[in-house]
Structure 1
Amino acid sequence: MAGKEQELLNVYLSGEIHTDWRDQIIAGSTGLEVAFSAPVTDHDASDDCGVAILGAEPNKFWHDHKGAKLNAIRTRRLIEQADVVVVRFGDKYKQWNAAFDAGYAAALGKSLIVLHGPDHQHALKEVDAAALAVAEDPQQVVQILRYVLTGQLPG
C-alpha cells in the first residue's frame, strides 16, 4: 500500500557459517524494514565461549557442553524474538544445530524459511515439510522478505 510505513520484521539467520549467504541476504534487503540477528559465526569463539567464561575443561565433552549451553541462551532468545527464522543448510558439513534451530522455530510457531540446495531435498524432507518456504539461494530469501513486507513480486 502506497504511503503506509512498513513494520519492522525481525529475521533470525541460522545455519552454516562457512559461506557469505547472510551477507547476501542483508545486502539484498537494503531499503526493507528488517532487523537481522544470527548466532555467533566466529567458529572458535562459539566453540570456546563456555571455557573462556566459565573455566577450562580437560574433557572435550564438557568443553563442548559448556559452549553449547551458552550459545543456546543466545539462540533461544533470538529465535523467540524473531518473526521469521531462516535456516541455511550448507554443502560442506552436516549442520545438526541448524536442524535443531528449525525444529525449535517450528515448535514455537515461527514462520520458517529453509535454505538449501537440491542435493539435500531428501535428507531434509521433514524439515522442509515444517517450513513455509524452501529456497535454494539467498536471493530467493530476499524476494520472499520483500514480498512479505511490500507485496511486490520480483522483476
Structure 2
Amino acid sequence: MSWNVYLSGEIHTDWREQIIQSCEEKGLDIQFTSAVTDHGSSDAAGDGLGEESHSFWRDHKSAKVNAIRTQTLIKQCDLAVIRFGDKYKQWNAAFDAGYCAAQDKPFITLHSDDIIHPLKEVDAAAQAWATTTDQVVDILEYLLTMK
C-alpha cells in the first residue's frame, strides 16, 4: 500500500526529516509533500506579481500563491500531519487543520502537551494527537502494514 502524506506546520525544527527518515528506515511506501519550508521563499511567493509599497499587499499576494500549493497538496494527500511548535504560533498550521477538516481529510496533530488547551478544537477534529515524531511514525506504520 502506498500513501501520500502532507506535512504541515512549523518550519524551525527538523521534525519533517525525522519522520521521513524513520519511515524510509522502516521501508514504508510513503510519498511526503509539504508547504514551502524556506521562510524567505514563502514570503516572496507573490513578488512576481509586482512590487508593493505596503507589506500587507506583499503578504496578501504571497499567501494566495502559497495557498495554491497548500490546497492542492492537501486535496491530493491521504493523510496530513500538522505540527504545532513551541516557539512560534503557527496560524497557517491551524488553517491547514481546518482545511483538512472541511475536506474530510484525516489528519494527525503533533505538539507538546503544554499547548493542549489552545488547540483543543483542532485536536478534537484530528484523528490522532501525537507528542513525538516516533508516535507519528508508529501510526503510519500501522496504517500501511496492517491487513
Q: CA–CA distance in 2 between the matches of 1:67 and 1:22?
A: 23
Q: What is the match of residue 4 of structure 2?
A: 10
Gaps of 5+ in 2: none
- With normalisation by structure 1, the TM-score equals 0.92
Read off the aligned partner of 1:17 and give its amino acid letter. I
CA RMSD of aligned residues (A): 0.9
Gaps of 5+ in 1: 1-6
Q: What is the match of residue 26 of structure 1?
A: 20
Q: CA–CA distance in 1 between the matches of 2:32 and 2:144?
A: 14
Q: Per-residue displacement from partner, 1:58-107 (whole Å, max 9, x unpaired)?
A: 10000100000000000000000010011000001110010000000011
Structure 2 residue corresponding to 1:112, chosen from 86, 107, 110: 107
Identical columns (%): 61
Q: CA–CA distance in 1 between the matches of 2:110 and 2:140?
A: 13
Shift of 1:151: 2.3
Larger-gyration structure (1/2): 1
Read off the aligned partner of 2:71 and give its amino acid letter. R
Q: Is 1:139 equivalent to 2:134 in the alignment?
A: yes
Structure 2 residue corresponding to 1:88, chosen from 80, 83, 89: 83
Shift of 1:56: 1.1
Number of matched pairs: 145
Q: What is the match of residue 69 of structure 2?
A: 74
Read off the aligned partner of 1:14 and give its amino acid letter. S
Structure holding more helix per residue: 2
Shift of 1:46: 0.1
Shift of 1:11: 0.2
Read off the aligned partner of 2:115 and give its amino acid letter. H
Read off the aligned partner of 2:42 and give its amino acid letter. S
- With normalisation by structure 2, the TM-score equals 0.97
Q: CA–CA distance in 2 between the matches of 1:129 and 1:82?
A: 20
